[in-house]
Amino acid sequence: MTGLVIALAIIGAYLIGSLPTAYLVSRLRRGIDIRDVGTRNMGAMNVFYTVGVAYGILVLVVDIAKGVAAVLLARWLGVLSGVEPVVAGVPVIELVAGGVAVIGHGLPVFLRFRGGKGGATCIGVLGLLMPWALPFGIGIFVIALLITRYPTLSYSLALACTPFVAWLRYESGALVIFSAVLLLIPATRYVPRVKEMRTKAGNWRHVFQRKGLQDRF
């Protein structure tokens, strides 16, 4: 794979990840900066609560699609170049592009590098590279949501299953490491938010087990 193709894949993945879906939707629909309202996160759940359910779903779908598009672009460029290093059956450039897309969501060039956490984009990347993670993730999400009534925690637990799927289903140490490292990107960005919720909720139990879907801090 030539250096030019690698550069195009990385730049393309970053620009795709940088598309500020939540920001654009909230600006166009309500005239607000989603980063200044609600949880101040540029993500689907904040749009869901502050702008509307349909718009939150739209943002979720597009943000997932960003991860898919970044990997597919890298895949197409890899095929075009004809030479591509492979790890555990997955071209390295696809792994790199997936990670760069998530970073782009968190540090978008279009918004002076102030973006969201990247959970939905992780879903797109991991869902495409490890399709078997989808049924397991959906099952975990539904069960966790019924118990906790906390959507963000539920999809976080669903994402956390991907390293285990990589290990047990794909038997790939490389995919285990990749998925774990990829998930650290949104996880580390979520730490300040967790501390804020603990302060507002008064105790950890209320943070992680809500009274209902509208119970948020």
pLDDT at 19 > cutoff 80: yes
Question: Kind and range of the H or E element at 171?
Answer: none
Neighbours of 198 (CB within 10 A): 15
pLDDT band at 209 (very low <50, low <70, confident <90, very high): confident
Question: Kind and range of the H or E element at 152?
Answer: helix 151-160
pLDDT of residue 84: 64
pLDDT of residue 55: 96
Q: How many Cα neighbours within 13 Å face the side chain of 35? A: 14
Backbone dihedral angles phi then psi of residue 98, each to the nearest 5 degrees: -60, -45
Average pLDDT over the chain, rounded to an integer = 89
pLDDT band at 206 (very low <50, low <70, confident <90, very high): confident
pLDDT of residue 44: 93
Residue 63 token pair: 């943000």
Which whole-number Å values give the CA distances from 180 to 3, 164, 168, in the listed order? 27, 9, 14
Q: Domain boundaries in the chain?
A: 3-208
CA 35, CA 174: separation in Å to the nearest integer?
35
pLDDT at 97 > cutoff 90: yes
Which is more confident, 63 or 211?
A: 63
| 33-42, 61-70, 99-108: least confident range | 33-42
